[in-house]
Structure 1
């Protein structure tokens, strides 16, 4: 079967995912950097032998690189999709920590918002996986 050219639903979903990752990463590296530190659980700093700011910066850089890679490296699409899905799983404990402690971060300043954010992780993982399976 010949390969289709042009915009498909999956390629549009990849583009939106890439933009979301880059925007989130830039937020972690700039305006939201201080606010996102509260999402990092104390055990993560002990496990990684670093401070909360370094974890926020590293996660922001990872988001930017994953988003850019998703567009710039089409041959690595499947690997990047798996890495993005794994990234979304890896940051989930921070979301749980934020919900349990009731602390606000940029865009998540109510108990309801923090609770609902927990349920966003599954669709994000599924989105990353599905959008990168097309060949």
Structure 2
């Protein structure tokens, strides 16, 4: 896949916002929200909940930094972040199914259910703002032109 595509100013602003959000969220995994994030780790995960929170926080910070700073790999970081959002979604579902409160705001089944609908938004945000979506479409269009 082409590692770099041109993005608009709006995409770049949203990419940087997402990157800052990821760095902040990752930092909060390691510090003040550590216990709250443990509520999202499903009981079936065969690792310590604290270890999962620490590792996912480190991954979030690395993905955020890469998305913000590594221009030539922006598309790859967009894909990696989208995949990360897919991989952590079972934790959000488990938190809803188990009725575990967290962050002060996720204190009802309704709030936890509403939160589930934001995961696809984050996936699309990562793919769109990084140019990954455009790179994928361009690649597919080029394949169709050469094979069709």
| Structure 2 Cα separation of the partners of residues 12 and 71 of structure 1 | 10
RMSD: 1.9
User: Which stretches of structure 1, 4 residues or longer, exceed 2 Å deviation after superposition?
Assistant: none
Name whichever of 70-79 and 102-111 sits farther off. 102-111
For the residues of structure 1 that align with 2:112 and 2:123, how far apart are their CA atoms?
A: 18
Choose which of 94, 112, 121 in structure 1 pairs with 2:110: 112
1:52 equivalenced with 2:49 (yes/no): yes
Unaligned runs of 5+ in 2: 136-148
Which structure would you say has the larger Rg?
2
TM-score (norm 1): 0.88
Alpha-carbon distance change, 4 to 103 in structure 1, aligned in 2, over 3 angstroms: closer
- Show the counterpart of 2:72: 75
* 1:109 positional shift: 1.7
1:65-101 CA distance string (max 9 Å, x none):
1111111211000000000000000000000000001
Aligned partner of 1:13 in structure 2 is: 14
State the alpha-carbon separation in 1 of the partners of residues 6 and 93 from structure 2: 41
Q: CA deviation at 1:39?
A: 1.1
What's the CA shift for 1:112? Answer: 1.3
**Unaligned residue ranges in structure 1 (runs of 5+):** none
- Over 3 Å counting, the alpha-carbon distance change for 1:129 and 1:4 in structure 2 is closer
TM-score normalised to the size of structure 2? 0.81
Query: Aligned equivalents of 1:109 and 1:29: distance in 2?
Result: 22
Q: 1:36 to 1:15 in 2, by over 3 A?
A: same
- The total of aligned residue pairs comes to 128
Residue equivalent to 2:35: 34
Q: Helix, strand or coil for the counterpart of 2:78?
A: helix
